[in-house]
Amino acid sequence: MARRAQPIGLWPGIVAAVLVLGLTFGTLGAVAWRAEDVSRLGPADWAAIRFTLTQALLSATISVALAIPLARALARRQFAGRSILVTLLGAPFILPVIVAVLGLLAVFGRNGLVSTVLGWVGLEPVQIYGLHGVVLAHVFFNLPLATRLLLQGWLSIPAERFRLAASLGFTPGDILRRLEVPMLRAMVPGAFLVIFLICTTSFAVALTLGGGPRATTVELAIYQAFRFEFDLSKAAQLAMIQFTIGGLAAALAFRLAIPSGIGVGLDRPRQVWGVSTGPLRVQDTAIITVASLFLIAPLSMIVLRGLPGLFDLPIQVIEATVRSAIVALCSAALTLLLAVPLAILINSSKGRRGAVVEAIGTLSIAASPLVVGTGLFILLFPLVNPVALALPITALVNAVMALPFALRAITPAHRQIEADFGRLAGSLGLTGWARLRLLILPRLRRPLGFAAGLSAALSMGDLGVIALFADPDAATLPLQLYRLMAAYRMQDAAAAALLLLICSLTLFWLFDHGGRLNADA
């Protein structure tokens, strides 16, 4: 392939890719290297792998299938509270597992709202525990994420296309075929992939709602290998299997994804024609109402529970909140520092090479948090005290964990910018930093805001790596929440959970809204 001068240097992207590889395969390698002998996977491990695949496939399929009509309804309707709803869509995904599970069970549990209402009319309580419970919880977590990702897709269709469609007398069916399906072909495989990957590393949700050891996932098997058997070889093998599953899924998704090539618009405000007819309106309203209820009911239970104790939380919880917020901001900044160069690298690499870089950027969600944490510990321990680095490591690991979502939002947007304006910018000699500052970053504002917000919110609620490195005197908010629960203080813990929800959402909103100013999304 002939080498052309790139308008923007690619080395920052290469550095970012190497860093991600280090945190994923590097930590895995460290764990494997520390293993004393090689062990073989038993039938229980294979059962865990089968269950993991089944529930992840179901969860991702249902989440994305439901997200398509929801995102479309949100894209073509304007209503009071829409912006709040779009922000709340970020909420379930960023909640600490234990908080979300308690919220879900307050609605769908044996003693939950739904069962209580059924009881009034003389029906049996809902039976939530089982594979369907696992899927329900994963849909609760990921439907909003899928919706947000697909909403980006809808908003990326230029307003002129819809206007043209309207002037040509397109029916909703024509719009679907000509405009929406091509966009979905480009967006859906990626959204499906990230959700599938998130679900493959599920552990506490799957176990609790799965109702017992039938719902053993690979991550739980890793946990068992690590703490029950201290079998690092098995832990490393299982983590490798997680990567393999992730890698195969990624290869498939990238094969199915077809760039939409929908062309450039003039950035006019969005306005949708021809959908104010009766049946469509009723359909959209119904979809939005049902989805909102499903997502907001558990959140409301978390709010109701936490409210009584919110204003007299112990000072240590407040301190932890400040600490977590700082970590979250660093994490958001790091995510962008990694994601933008990676997106540029992906879009500048021809053919398969771009897909490989994209796969590397997506790897981190297939990584076992336990293995990443343990690997980092093994790597750092001979050099420094890992505990002293607990907070910076939390920020970095979360930045990398948020990277796949950031790339999903940023890479297509950047590709579009280069496709639409690249030639013009090239003819103007706009290269390097100037091209980034004048052309790319301003036009990437919306996905950048989304990515930063997601990263900050995720990092605010993270309890993956910090649990292994915890510095007793520098606890984060999620860690304090667990400590409150471990000390029987469930009321304070509920209040801390609410505080966490508020902080995560505020951070998400600030960034996301910042990115959407003037963008009418």
Partner 1 sequence: MNYPIIAAGFLAIASTAVAQEKPVLTVMTYDSFVSEWGPGPAIEKAFEKVCICDLKFVAAGDGAALLARLRLEGVRTEADVVLGLDTNLTTAAAATGLFGLHGRDEAAFDLPVTWDDPMFLPYDWGYFAFVYDKTKLADVPKDFAELAASDLKIVIQDPRSSTPGLGLLLWVEAAYGDKAPEIWAGLADNVLTVTKGWSEAYGLFLEGEADMALSYTTSPAYHLIAEEDDSKVAAAFTEGHYLQIEVAAKIASSDQQELADQFLDFMISDKFQGIIPTTNWMYPANTPSGGLPKGFETLITPETALIYPANEAVEARDRALKTWLDALSQ
CB of 105 to partner 1, least distance (A): 6
CA distances from 323 to 96, 287, 392, 478 (A): 17, 39, 11, 11
* Closest to partner 1 by CB, 451 or 494: 494
Which residue type, as a one-letter code, is found at position 86?
V
The CA distance from 244 to 246, in Å, is: 5
Of the pair 317, 360, the CB lying nearest partner 1 is at: 317
Q: Please, what is the minimum distance in Å from the beta carbon of residue 521 to partner 1? A: 37
CB of 204 to partner 1, least distance (A): 4
> Cα separation of 213 and 230, whole Å?
20
For partner 1, which is the closer residue by CB, 355 or 468?
468
Of 1 and 384, nearer to partner 1 (C-beta) is: 384
Compute the least distance from the CB of residue 327 to partner 1, in Å: 18
State the nearest-atom distance from the C-beta of 236 to partner 1, in Å: 13
DSSP state letter for 444: T
Cα distances (Å, whole numbers) of residue 148 to 269, 451, 502: 19, 11, 19
Q: How far is the CB of 231 from partner 1 (least distance, A)?
A: 11
* Binding residues for partner 1 (CB under 8 A): 34, 44, 47, 98, 101-102, 105-106, 109-112, 129, 203-204, 207-214, 220, 223-224, 226-228, 230, 314, 316, 374, 377-378, 381-382, 385, 387, 467-468, 470, 472, 475, 479-480, 482-490, 493
- Measured CA to CA, the distance from residue 45 to residue 65 in angstroms comes to 30
What's the min distance (Å) between Cβ of 5 and partner 1?
48
Smallest separation, CB 120 to partner 1 (Å): 17
Q: Give DSSP secondary structure letters for 359-392.
A: HHHHHGGGS-HHHHHHHHHHHHTTTS-GGGGHHH
Distance CA(44)–CA(52), nearest Å, equals 12
Q: Determine whether 172 is exposed, middle or buried from the number of CB atoms within 10 Å of its CB (0-12, 13-18, 19+).
A: middle
Report CA-CA distances (Å) from 434 to 7, 333, 412, 441.
Answer: 10, 20, 21, 10
> Which C-beta is closer to partner 1: that of 290 or that of 490?
490
Pick the closer one to partner 1 by CB: 162 or 203: 203
**Residue with Cβ nearer partner 1 (60 or 466):** 466
- Using the minimum distance from each CB to partner 1, give the nearer residue, 99 or 360: 99
Least distance in angstroms from the C-beta of 352 to partner 1: 38
**DSSP category for residue 309:** G
Least distance (Å) between residue 459 CB and partner 1: 20
Q: Are 137 and 295 in contact (CB under 8 A)?
A: no
Distance CA 75, CA 122 (A): 40
Comparison of 110 and 353: residue with beta carbon closer to partner 1: 110
Determine whether 130 is exposed, middle or buried from the number of CB atoms within 10 Å of its CB (0-12, 13-18, 19+). middle
**Greatest C-alpha distance within the chain:** 74
Q: Where are the alpha helices (DSSP H) in 364-476?
A: 369-380, 390-427, 432-435, 441-443, 445-460, 466-469
- CB 483, min distance to partner 1, A: 4
Contacts of residue 212, defined as CB under 8 A and 6 or more positions apart, other chains included, come to: 129
Q: Answer whether 460's CB lies under 8 Å from 330's CB.
A: no
Question: Which is closer to partner 1, CB of 52 or CB of 152?
Answer: 52
Q: 91, 197 in Cβ contact below 8 A?
A: no
Please answer whether residues 76 and 162 qualify as being in contact, where contact means their C-beta atoms are separated by less than 8 angstroms. no
Environment class of 171 (CB within 10 Å of its CB; exposed 0-12, middle 13-18, buried 19+): exposed
Q: Which is nearer to partner 1, 85 or 378 (CB)?
A: 378
Tell me whether residue 11 or residue 228 sits nearer to partner 1 (CB atom): 228
Q: Are 363 and 242 within 8 A, CB to CB?
A: no
Shortest distance, CB of residue 262 to partner 1, whole angstroms?
45
